[in-house]
Amino acid sequence: MRSIQGSKKEKMAAVAALREAKIATAYEPFPWEMKMRELLPVPDKSRFLSLLLLPMATDGTQTRYNSLDDTLARADAWLASCRCSGVPVRLVRFQTEALLTKITGETAVPTVNMLSDLANLSNVSLYGFEDYHGVDIGMVRAVRLWYAPSGAAGETSLEMALRQGDTRLGFSINRTKEGFIYVSSVADESTPGVASTRSGLLEMHRAARRAGKLLVLSRVGGESVLPWLVSTAGDVRCYDTVSLNQKLSLYRHALRPVTLHFLAWDDGVLPPLPPPPPRSPVIVLSTPSESDIEELDGDDDGDGPGPGIEGGKGFQNIRLPDSWR
């Protein structure tokens, strides 16, 4: 009898102890630098790509914005335009991000009161609240578009080694309306004294054209050259081709090898695009001026600017004098 009572007391004590028991926390040091250097496809660089789209401002005071639906539609249109242009990217997901801003004047009161109307709050781009000091604080809802290269490899790299006798790098770059920088032309095998002939860049460029893709630069010397922001005015923040050309030319003058990374693609990853409507053709080629033709002479392989790239002011092949290249 005593043994039965003793076992009951032990069970009750164990149950009570189990109820009170907590799993302790611990700290495990992780070799971040080594793992980032050895395991990432691009050492010390993330392969997660994104574009932050701010809502479109409806006036110059930056206090009224279009709806969240409008920002999502812009993100969707940007991604669709990338595919039409031949940029090898695919959607990963969308998410909204809240950015703090100060709101005053006529916008403040209705924006703060909007918090009581939860039905309308879901699609607004700006909502607000009053803090303890009586200052109206606004939350602007931006859209973060996460995307990835369409190829399973993500990015592919190429090292361009420079020699004393090199007179040019041997390739030219251009920029799409979506803000991506791509290799628009590469010197062929008959052009002497160019680094691109030895590096294999010509073969990559031809392979991209055969696949109907652009050879898009993602990093130069480990530094990202991808677009990253759409402003409230609708402009895409991206990298300048003139300054990038200058930096590439400095690699040649310093005889320092430069590693170029490109967005990879796989055949058949993207479904075929529907034909564009007649009133808005996808491909619009501009007519080059005589000066443009003279600058391109001897440095183009005759393949042209690439698939689906719209011409126009600000998106011509931006070239530097031979002294730079």
Q: Is residue 140 part of a domain?
A: yes
Residues 162 and 104 grouped into a single domain? no
> By the 8 A CB rule, do 324 and 246 touch?
yes
Q: Residue 222: CB partners within 8 Å, gap ≥ 6? A: 42, 43, 44, 45, 259
Residues 135 and 239 grouped into a single domain? no
Residues 225 and 178 grouped into a single domain? yes
Q: Is residue 141 part of a domain?
A: yes
**pLDDT, position 178:** 97
Nearest to 307 by CA among 227, 213, 237, 216: 213
Domain that holds residue 286: 155-296
CA atoms of 215 and 199, how far apart (whole Å)? 15
Q: Is residue 172 part of a domain?
A: yes
Q: With a cut of 50, list the residues of the chain below it in pLDDT.
A: 108-110, 112-116, 268-325
> By the 8 A CB rule, do 269 and 155 touch?
no
CA 280 vs. chain centroid, Å, equals: 25
Q: Residue 303: CB partners within 8 Å, gap ≥ 6? A: 185, 205, 206, 209
Residues 116 and 197 grouped into a single domain? no
* Count of domains forming the chain: 2
Q: Is residue 137 part of a domain?
A: yes
Query: pLDDT tens digits, residue range 83-136?
Result: 999 999 999 999 988 887 766 555 544 454 444 455 566 677 776 665 555 556
Q: Is residue 238 part of a domain?
A: yes
CA atoms of 125 and 294, how far apart (whole Å)? 49
**pLDDT, position 27:** 95
Residues 162 and 290 grouped into a single domain? yes
**pLDDT, position 134:** 58
> By the 8 A CB rule, do 159 and 257 touch?
yes
**DSSP labels, 134-166:** S-EEEEEEEEEEEEEESSTT-EEEEEE---TT-
Output the six-digit token pair for 117.
Answer: 């109307």
Residues 141 and 166 grouped into a single domain? no
**pLDDT, position 317:** 33
CA atoms of 223 and 229, how far apart (whole Å)? 16
**pLDDT, position 246:** 92
The CATH number for 281's domain is 2.30.42.10
**pLDDT, position 100:** 75
Q: Is residue 27 part of a domain?
A: no
Residues 69 and 160 grouped into a single domain? no
Domain boundary among 115, 149, 183: 149
Domain boundary among 149, 175, 206: 149
